[in-house]
Amino acid sequence: MSSINISKIPNSLQEHWMPFTSNKDFKENPRLITGAKGVYLTNHKGKTMIDASSGLFCNPFGHGRKEITEAVAKQLEQLDYCQPFQQGFGGSFDLATKIARHTPGNLNRIFYTICGSTAVETAIKISVAYHRAKGNSQRFRFIGRERGYHGMNIGAISVGGMVNNIKTFASILMPGVAHMRHTHLPEHKFISGQPATGVELADDLERIAANFGGENIAACIVEPIAGSTGTLVPPKGYLKRLREICDKHGILLIFDEVITGWGRTGSAFASQEFGVTPDIITMAKATTNGVVPMGVVACKEEIYDAVMDASPKGAVELFHGYTYSGIPVAVAAALAVQDIIEKEDIFSRAKEMVPYFQKGLFTLQDIDVVENIRGYGMMGGIDIKMNVKPGKAGFECFKACYEAGVNFKATGDCLIIAPQFICEKKHIDEIIDKLRTGILNYSKNLKN
Ligand SMILES: Cc1ncc(COP(=O)(O)O)c(C=O)c1O
């Protein structure tokens, strides 16, 4: 008997233009998720799947957390919305204090945005505003990195290094952006942790500074570990060298920790994990366990002070903000997440699971279609051998794994694995077993 629950499939799938989706393929064979609890998802066929990527890296504390649901419901009853311009409510200040307890150094000034992309665009604007306030308006250039992903607004795709974005939207990209090379070298094969080679790739920043004049560069933005393009772990010493070059030229260093923030590496932020303090950190996703959109920009105190000092009292110091900057429901969810982090010592829990997860991940290297595996903390990337054209193998393999009962995100030909921090060893085993089944099924189909 078929277990398909037809009532869960909408009458028409045509009107919704889905984001980052092969719409035509999906609408022929939809994958609808109907429920989520703990580490499991249920689809419209009634099948249970394990969530191996924490949604899109955003639900590491588990699906269906009652504490968050209750906090959001209570907030909606008490104060559903409050405009964030020239007004406020207590929660956003409490949350900023709590976030600042986790951020490294004196990155204690917290600006709320709507998502990761808006956090990145805000960081770009704050960098420009800071340099203007210091009398350095000539600093308008930004340095990103190939294979970087920072979101989808114009600022974010300009500093990002995803080829499709750069090609498709070339005519509207921000001016004055240069890219360093990415950090993935051919010899980086099946390495768990930081590769020993490639520190010199950071010198690209020095070369760009020599070319354009370091005094004209506002900021350099990188993901400490490039997440969306396949868990590219920074070579040993790389981030430290970037920091040194930025300091030499007065360039702000922005770490985009939208994925690596809130425990993904085993430390609160990758910054602490790698011992390098940037000037600005962007975060989003896990801030609310993914249940309400929210982005955050944490800045060094001197950045905030410079922007404040440049304006007379009564003026709006930073001409920037969003209707949904730190709205009550997002703040309520984020405060509930802060409680979970504290009560469950959840970063330590993630850190303890890292060796087990990494070991399990690398057991998949014997599969013939697995070309490479990379990993750090509770993140991993599995490259599947290209099949005819880039992206096909990754997508087909993703679908085979979905059928095998494990869900995750694939980018191009890379399967991106990011388990939830509430995973027990048995859940990691289940993820790895089902990945093996799914990848092998994909491989068998290729041969038939
Ligand atoms: C590092 C990084 N920055 C920014 C973003 C964009 O976040 P959002 O999709 O919330 O705009 C993402 C999304 O995956 C990301 O991985």
**Spatial distance between the Cα atoms of 372 and 177, rounded to a whole number of angstroms:** 31
> How many angstroms is it from 156 CA to the middle of ligand 1?
9
Per-residue 3-state assignment (H helix, E strand, C coil) for 9-78: CCCCCCCCCCCCCCHHHHHHCCCCEEEEEECEEEECCCCEEEECCHHHHCCCCCECCHHHHHHHHHHHHH
10 Å Cβ neighbour count for 257?
30
Structure tokens belonging to residue 118: 């808006």
Model pLDDT for residues 293-325, shown as the tens digit of each residue: 999 999 999 999 999 999 999 999 999 999 999
Tell me, using a 6 A CB cutoff, whether residue 49 lines ligand 1.
no
- Residue count of the chain, please give it: 448
Structure tokens belonging to residue 123: 């960081």
Q: Residue 1: what pLDDT? A: 39
Per-residue pLDDT of the chain (448 residues; tens, 9 = 90+): 344 554 468 889 999 999 999 999 999 999 999 999 999 999 999 999 999 999 999 999 999 999 999 999 999 999 999 999 999 999 999 999 999 999 999 999 999 999 999 999 999 999 999 999 999 999 999 999 999 999 999 999 999 999 888 899 999 999 999 999 999 999 999 999 999 999 999 999 999 999 999 999 999 999 999 999 999 999 999 999 999 999 999 999 999 999 999 999 999 999 999 999 999 999 999 999 999 999 999 999 999 999 999 999 999 999 999 999 999 999 999 999 999 999 999 999 999 999 999 999 999 999 999 999 999 999 999 999 999 999 999 999 999 999 999 999 999 999 999 999 999 999 999 999 999 999 999 999 987 7
Contact 82, 328 (CB under 8 A): yes
Model pLDDT for residues 347-377, shown as the tens digit of each residue: 999 999 999 999 999 999 999 999 999 999 9
First to last CA, the chain: 28
Q: Residue 166: what pLDDT? A: 87
Contact 282, 119 (CB under 8 A): yes
Model pLDDT for residues 140-175, shown as the tens digit of each residue: 999 999 999 999 999 999 999 998 888 999 999 999
Tell me, using a 6 A CB cutoff, whether residue 222 lines ligand 1.
no
Q: Specify the ligand 1 atom closest to the Cα of 120.
A: 4
Structure tokens belonging to residue 229: 């393009």
Provide the b/e sequence for 90-101 (b: ≥16 CB within 10 Å): ebbeebbebbee
Tell me, using a 6 A CB cutoff, whether residue 283 lines ligand 1.
no
**Spatial distance between the Cα atoms of 149 and 415, rounded to a whole number of angstroms:** 16
Q: Residue 248: what pLDDT? A: 98
Q: Residue 446: what pLDDT? A: 87
Q: Residue 345: what pLDDT? A: 96
> How many angstroms is it from 117 CA to the middle of ligand 1?
6
Choose among 210, 211, 204: nearest CA to 238.
204
Per-residue 3-state assignment (H helix, E strand, C coil) for the chain: CCCCCHHHCCCCCCCCCCCCCCHHHHHHCCCCEEEEEECEEEECCCCEEEECCHHHHCCCCCECCHHHHHHHHHHHHHCCCCCCCCCCCHHHHHHHHHHHHHCCCCCCEEEEECCHHHHHHHHHHHHHHHHHHCCCCCCCEEEEECCCCCCCCHHHHHHCCCHHHHHHCHHHCCCCEEEECCCCCCCCCCEECCCCCCHHHHHHHHHHHHHHCHHHEEEEEECCCECCCCCECCCCCHHHHHHHHHHHHCCEEEEECCCCCCCCCCCCCHHHHHCCCCCEEEECHHHHCCCCCCEEEEECHHHHHHHHHCCCCCCCCCCCCCCCCCCHHHHHHHHHHHHHHHHHCHHHHHHHHHHHHHHHHHHHHHCCCEEEEEEECCEEEEEECCECECCHHHHHHHHHHHHHCEECEEECCEEEECCCCCCCHHHHHHHHHHHHHHHHHHHHHHHC
Mutate to test the pocket of ligand 1, among 117, 221, 231 (most ligand atoms within 8 A of CB): 117
Contact 254, 100 (CB under 8 A): no
Mutate to test the pocket of ligand 1, among 149, 165, 289 (most ligand atoms within 8 A of CB): 149
